[in-house]
Amino acid sequence: MFRLAVKSVKHNPKRLVLTAVAVALGVALASATFTLTNALSGGFHQLFDEIYAGTDVIVEPAPTETEDDGDQFAAPDAVFTHADLAAVQAVDGVENAVGTIQVMGSVLPKDFEPTGDLMAAGGAPSQLFNWAGDPKLDQATLVEGSGPEADGQIVLDLDGAPRLGYEIGDMVSIATDTGVTELELVGLVRFGETNSLQGATLGYMTEADAATLAGSEDYQTISVVTADGVDKDQVASAISEVIPEGTRAITGEAKAAEQAEQLDDILQYVDIFAIAFALIALFVGSYIIVNTFRIIVTQRTREFGLLRAIGVSGRQLRTMILLEALVIAVVASTVGILLGYLGALGLSALVEALSGNIFGTVTLPWDALLWGYSLGALVTLVAALMPAIHASTISPMEALRESATESKKPLRMRNIVGGALTLLGVLAIVVGLYMDVAKPYVFVGAGAMVLVIGVTLLAAQVLVPLAYGLKAFLTRVFRVDGKLAANNIRREPRRSANTAAALMIGVMLLALVSTFTESLKSVVTDQFATSEADFFVLSTQGAIPPGAIDLLGSEDGVDFVTSTGVDQATYDGLGYSVASIDPATADLAYDYPNDPDFDGMDGGVFIDPVIQELGVEVGDQVALEGAEGSATLTVTGLYEREGDANFWVDEATGAELFGDYDILQAMVVLDDGVDPAAAEEQLTSALAEDFPLVVLSSPDQLAQFANQFIDLLLGVISAMLGAALIIAVLGVANTLLLSVTERTREIGLLRAVGVRRRSVRRMIRIESLVMAIFGTILGMILGVGLGVALVKALAEFGFTSVAIPWAWLGIYMVLAIIAGVVAAMSPARRAAKLDILQAIAFDG
């Protein structure tokens, strides 16, 4: 049976090529992502290993329960005093211990001009430390010049210095909270063995300079080198005895493993994201496989009848077809995995050329193989199942029949099932979006899938009257070519519907995402439009220095500056975000969704919907505990939007809880009658001296910036959906190719009675276009519908308006038409090239 299956695939490989390509593309997507995340993980493992290579034990603040995993490069608060360092040095088995001061700052490019542009000032972060002079502890080796032996000197890593335009002897500008400091570049260092810093800049200065820039003589971590032959774990636990509460001692190896593990957790989400898109692509591909196998089974009805006549059982026949599917799946998955691997190689080479090496060795990981083969085989087999079952019911008598067309089963059953599935899908989506259920996304996801299948089934019924309706139109415009095309679509409504549905899914997702992002854009634009602020103040790295706020507030023409700080506090045993604002001015700058206005805060606290759902009401007392202190506050108002911050307090309370909290955003309101353009210039130059990393943005600019970001998001998702769309277009081509083969005699006859090649080509093209446009329109209706439902369901997150992405829909339609023409190219050429005599004599 297996031999028969292989022979059958070998005998007529052409008709299976596109099927295999569809599977391969989906598998390639998964394989490429696995390869890339694996390489990325490898790169970071190597980085972490190098960071902690020379350090036997690290003494650091213990990770808190509510870990803020925002900025990986941010410096932790300094907690170790010089006395702590001395205590660690005195522990048995410690050979050397050095305190590390990390400076929160940024090395500016040599000819840095503050432009107010968010992108220009950003870029890769800087990592600045004090120089220990011990290569094992510094994790860096001096390769040129000298170390920072005297105050006022600095060394940079050998890639960072040229990137920023510095040479030895230059003065290096470093921007920190308090201003810009210049240090002389005296040497270059290499980080670890290969200086793989993932794009960051590394710099070292004297401990005195570091302490000045960091604003504290305390250390954030203490790095320990143990004596030879001592058990590091024992030393670590001995150190634990002498260090302050809330800190810990951990071996370098354990620390590297811990960090790598955290990163792998993040990369796992990337993998899941990619698998989701690969599944979408393969789901689309499964439509092609169903079509291909159905057509093949029809074409081989006589062959199967013959096999049945000579004693092959229906079950064996079914097994044979499934084996054929498996053969294709294995071949296609192999091709797909290799394609994905090559794609990943290409992409990593591209990234390396553009922004330096962030990948480790690019190898094909075993999970790429596992996922590739299992996804490919699963999808192919499931898709081939229905046609295989159909084949197993072929009676031996079919061998003797003349006709080779699919028996005309009525569509009733298909309609009933389709209708039921559509309803079920809509129901699940509605439940998921509007009912208060656990894991709503499961309902929405499963509902969307069921809905798609249901609509696919129903589409066959829609196509029949549609083709009737179109027939008159197509006949008028394209005469007989159009009439024949309309007839062909109607003749095999199942096949045409499945083909259109493949495209429908891709377009649906595109329309869904673009409806969502377009609505998001309109919400963002509205939000900024309602702001009274003339400028938003932002920092391109870290928090906004309080000095910058004071500076802006003291400038001429500025009415007031109001700032928002966000930090974490514990309430009822769990961590929540707390925003600190100035109640007197906040509402004057921005239209917050609060009730009443913040000036009614009166030293109390406002709570957002999350806290409201816990049963907290106005008038209740809440106890918050921050890093620096705790406060029991009366709830004096509500904040009606989810996702901004859970608690809103005034600045005094913020200081009580957190001390110097991080200011994330500030707004500047100018005096009446001051020209914003002139003010921007004045304020920017005022900031340039001491706070080059603080930029001003008008609400318009910021809205534009946010919209660009949203567009980027749409772009990334569209690109990920590209594979699914390519497969869908292949599906149209595949169906047409098989249908041309099936209609060889018919086309030959048309040619014999005088239809020109050009007309034959046009006929196929019209068929292709009708299927493509039909699928696209269905996809748009579904996608926009789902998108609107999603946006409405997210109303409490501030989605106040729904925007239909008309421009995108127009673009998708144009693309659909192009896709229709492209998909028709090869089938049309083949149909037009058919030799008339062979076509007439073709043994159908």
Partner 1 sequence: MTTTVTLAASMRGGTKDYGTGDAAVRALDGIDVDIAAAEFTAIMGPSGSGKSTLLHTLAGLDCLTAGDSWIGEQQISSLSEDKITQVRRDKIGFVFQAFNLIPSLSAKENITLPLDISGRDVDPAWFDEIIGILGLADRLTHLPAELSGGQQQRVAVARALVARPELIFADEPSGNLDSRSGAELLGFMRRAVKEFGQTIAMVTHDPSAASYSDRVLFLADGRIVDEMREPTADRVLDRMKQMGH
Applying CB under 8 A, the residues found at the interface with partner 1 are: 403, 405, 479-480, 483-484, 487-488, 490-491, 745-746, 749-759, 836-837, 840, 844
Neighbour tally for 276: CB within 10 Å: 13
To partner 1, the closest distance from the beta carbon of 472 in angstroms equals 13
Beta strands at 140-145 and 105-107: parallel, antiparallel or unpaired: unpaired
To partner 1, the closest distance from the beta carbon of 491 in angstroms equals 5
Q: Residue 406 or residue 587: which is nearer to partner 1 going by CB?
A: 406
Q: Residue 19 or residue 768: which is nearer to partner 1 going by CB?
A: 768
Q: How far apart are CA 97 and CA 220, in angstroms?
A: 13
Q: How far apart are CA 52 and CA 259, in angstroms?
A: 11
Instruction: Identify the CA nearest to 244 among candidates 218, 266, 263, 224.
Output: 218
Instruction: Identify the CA nearest to 638 among candidates 620, 658, 618.
Output: 618
Q: How far is CA 267 from CA 272, 278, 520, 624, 720, in A?
A: 9, 16, 26, 34, 17
To partner 1, the closest distance from the beta carbon of 746 in angstroms equals 6
Q: How far apart are CA 21 and CA 653, in angstroms?
A: 63
- H or E stretch covering 494: helix 493-529
To partner 1, the closest distance from the beta carbon of 757 in angstroms equals 7
Q: Residue 306 or residue 840: which is nearer to partner 1 going by CB?
A: 840
Q: How far is CA 592 from CA 528, 589, 798, 801, in A?
A: 11, 9, 11, 17
Residue with tokens 């519907």: 497
To partner 1, the closest distance from the beta carbon of 343 in angstroms equals 43
To partner 1, the closest distance from the beta carbon of 398 in angstroms equals 16
To partner 1, the closest distance from the beta carbon of 768 in angstroms equals 17
Q: Residue 190 or residue 490: which is nearer to partner 1 going by CB?
A: 490
Q: Residue 253 or residue 746: which is nearer to partner 1 going by CB?
A: 746
Q: How far apart are CA 641 and CA 796, in angstroms?
A: 6
Q: Residue 405 or residue 708: which is nearer to partner 1 going by CB?
A: 405
- What secondary structure does DSSP assign to 775-828, as a single string? HHHHHHHHHHHHHHHHHHHTGGGT-------HHHHHHHHHHHHHHHHHHHHHHH
Residue with tokens 């003065």: 171
Six token digits for residue 659:
């001390």
Judge contact between 703 and 525, C-beta under 8 A. yes
Q: How far apart are CA 406 and CA 389, in angstroms?
A: 15
Q: Residue 721 or residue 755: which is nearer to partner 1 going by CB?
A: 755
Q: How far apart are CA 569 and CA 646, in angstroms?
A: 10
To partner 1, the closest distance from the beta carbon of 750 in angstroms equals 7
Beta strands at 126-130 and 102-103: parallel, antiparallel or unpaired: antiparallel
Q: Residue 7 or residue 758: which is nearer to partner 1 going by CB?
A: 758
To partner 1, the closest distance from the beta carbon of 469 in angstroms equals 16
Phi, psi (rounded to 5 degrees) for 246: 85, 5
Q: Residue 227 or residue 837: which is nearer to partner 1 going by CB?
A: 837
To partner 1, the closest distance from the beta carbon of 836 in angstroms equals 5
Alpha helices in 104-206 (DSSP H): 118-121, 135-138, 160-164
Instruction: Identify the CA nearest to 589 among candidates 553, 630, 643.
Output: 553
Residue 560 class from Cβ within 10 Å (0-12 exposed, 13-18 middle, 19+ buried)?
A: middle
Q: Residue 236 or residue 484: which is nearer to partner 1 going by CB?
A: 484
To partner 1, the closest distance from the beta carbon of 763 in angstroms equals 11
To partner 1, the closest distance from the beta carbon of 837 in angstroms equals 6
Q: Residue 403 or residue 632: which is nearer to partner 1 going by CB?
A: 403
Q: Residue 9 or residue 470: which is nearer to partner 1 going by CB?
A: 470
Residue with tokens 């974490």: 568
Cα atoms in the Cβ-side hemisphere of radius 13 Å centred on 192: 17
Q: Residue 488 or residue 646: which is nearer to partner 1 going by CB?
A: 488
Q: Residue 599 or residue 746: which is nearer to partner 1 going by CB?
A: 746
Phi, psi (rounded to 5 degrees) for 601: -70, -45
Sorted by sequence, the CB contacts under 8 Å of residue 820 that are 6+ apart come out as 732, 765, 768, 769, 770, 771, 772, 773
Q: Residue 53 or residue 749: which is nearer to partner 1 going by CB?
A: 749
Q: How far is CA 192 from CA 53, 137, 138, 139, 160, in A?
A: 8, 11, 9, 6, 14
To partner 1, the closest distance from the beta carbon of 335 in angstroms equals 37
The sign of the dihedral angle between the CA atoms of 220, 226, 232, 238 is: negative
Give Cα 779 to chain centroid, integer Å: 22
Sorted by sequence, the CB contacts under 8 Å of residue 244 that are 6+ apart come out as 79, 80, 84
Q: Residue 482 or residue 637: which is nearer to partner 1 going by CB?
A: 482
Position 663, amino acid: I
To partner 1, the closest distance from the beta carbon of 831 in angstroms equals 14
Q: How far apart are CA 630 and CA 637, in angstroms?
A: 20
To partner 1, the closest distance from the beta carbon of 759 in angstroms equals 7
To partner 1, the closest distance from the beta carbon of 500 in angstroms equals 18
Q: Residue 279 or residue 769: which is nearer to partner 1 going by CB?
A: 769
Judge contact between 501 and 458, C-beta under 8 A. no
Q: How far is CA 450 from CA 187, 446, 777, in A?
A: 64, 6, 19
To partner 1, the closest distance from the beta carbon of 482 in angstroms equals 11
